[in-house]
Amino acid sequence: MSVKKRHINRLLARKAAVILARHGVKKASLFGSHARGEQKPRSDYDLLVEFHGRKSLMEVVGIEQELSDALGLKVDLVTEKSVSPYIIDRIKKEMVTIRR
| Number of domains comprising the chain | 1
- Specify the pTM: 0.87
Q: What's the rounded Cα separation, in Å, for the pair 48 and 27? A: 8
Residue 64: the pLDDT is 97
- In angstroms, the CA 88 to CA 46 distance is 13
Which domain range does residue 69 map to? 3-99
CA 81 centroid distance within chain: 15
CATH code of 80's domain = 3.30.460.10
pLDDT per position as a tens digit, 36-90? 889 998 999 999 999 999 999 999 999 999 999 999 999 999 999 999 999 999 9
C-alpha distances in angstroms, 52 versus 4, 89, 94?
31, 23, 24
The Cα 77–Cα 67 span in angstroms is: 10
